Amino acid sequence: MTELPYKSQIIRNEKFIFRDREFTAKEVVNILEPILTPARKARIMQVVNSRTYSVATIAENLYDIGNISAVMRTAESFGFLPFHIVERSDSRYKMSDRISRGSEKWLDIRKYAGPENCLKEIKEQGFQIYATDLSATHSFSEIDFTKKVAIVFGNEKKGISDYTREHVDGRFIIPMRGFAQSFNISVAAALCFFHIHSAREKKWGQSGDLTEDDKLNLKAHYYLRTLDSAEEILSNSAASD
């Protein structure tokens, strides 16, 4: 099988601290696992196995908070964990449970005041960055999305910023055959994510590409997030030692 593009670098060997005591991911899992139902454990493991850190989403200066939440929900549904929000100067993003349905608790979300630090950080992690742009001449079918990639979705009125347009590795359009000039942001994201997910599955037979260490770390995170009493249980465990 061709080597997957992801290299462990995000949460490897992470420590979890409760009541000033450090827990390893393995300890968190061992303490919390007996409390979860078999069905819930199986579901979490199924989700973890399909996750990837090698496909990142960048939502730049979106006007409609609901659109960010909708894109977030779709990214989570396809297992694409890194989600970067470049906030507008006159607005700050707040989670919308009505639309995202809690998907933000399962993603790795970062926020930025502008595109400069966002793009710099992502490039330093080895991503190639592509942006949807109505002025582009290449279709998304011409781009190899099986590499480590980040996709920028610009705001609903002006699209991506001039800075982003100048600093991404490439720009693309989603082919349309009607009179409408563009898709809604959430629809564009869904089409892109499906295309990327399908390309990865076609090439490797899977989209998820986490290492065993990363799977263990992520499972620990999901155990913590799925149990309202998780912190109390771990704290009590630390106190009883």
Q: Nearest to residue 157, comparing CAs of 56, 88, 72?
A: 88
In a domain, 159, yes or no: yes
Could you tell me if 115 and 187 lie in one domain? yes
In a domain, 167, yes or no: yes
Query: What distance in Å separates the CA atoms of residue 93 and residue 81, rounded to the nearest whole number?
Result: 18
Q: So what's the pLDDT on residue 51?
A: 95
In a domain, 6, yes or no: no
Could you tell me if 157 and 227 lie in one domain? no
Could you tell me if 153 and 183 lie in one domain? yes
Could you tell me if 125 and 160 lie in one domain? yes
Could you tell me if 186 and 68 lie in one domain? yes
Q: Give pLDDT tens digits for 57-83.
A: 999 988 888 888 899 999 999 999 999
Burial class (CB in 10 A: 0-12, 13-18, 19+), 221: buried
In a domain, 72, yes or no: yes
Query: What distance in Å separates the CA atoms of residue 102 and residue 73, rounded to the nearest whole number?
Result: 8
Q: So what's the pLDDT on residue 100?
A: 42
In a domain, 70, yes or no: yes
In a domain, 220, yes or no: yes
What total number of domains does the chain contain?
2
Could you tell me if 179 and 61 lie in one domain? yes
Could you tell me if 80 and 137 lie in one domain? yes
The residues of the chain scoring below 70 in pLDDT are 1-13, 89-103, 179, 238-241
Q: So what's the pLDDT on residue 10?
A: 45
Q: So what's the pLDDT on residue 158?
A: 87
Could you tell me if 216 and 193 lie in one domain? no
- Contacts of 28 by beta carbon, 8 Å cutoff, 6+ apart: 16, 220, 223, 224, 234
Could you tell me if 85 and 105 lie in one domain? yes
Could you tell me if 42 and 137 lie in one domain? no
In a domain, 172, yes or no: yes
Q: So what's the pLDDT on residue 86?
A: 93
Range of the domain at 69: 55-204
Q: So what's the pLDDT on residue 187?
A: 92
Could you tell me if 76 and 37 lie in one domain? no
β 21-24/15-18 pair status: antiparallel
In a domain, 216, yes or no: yes
Q: So what's the pLDDT on residue 228?
A: 87
Q: Nearest to residue 81, comparing CAs of 207, 192, 177?
A: 207
Could you tell me if 146 and 68 lie in one domain? yes
Q: So what's the pLDDT on residue 21?
A: 82
User: Where residue 164 sits, what CATH number does that domain have?
Assistant: 3.40.1280.10
Q: So what's the pLDDT on residue 36?
A: 95
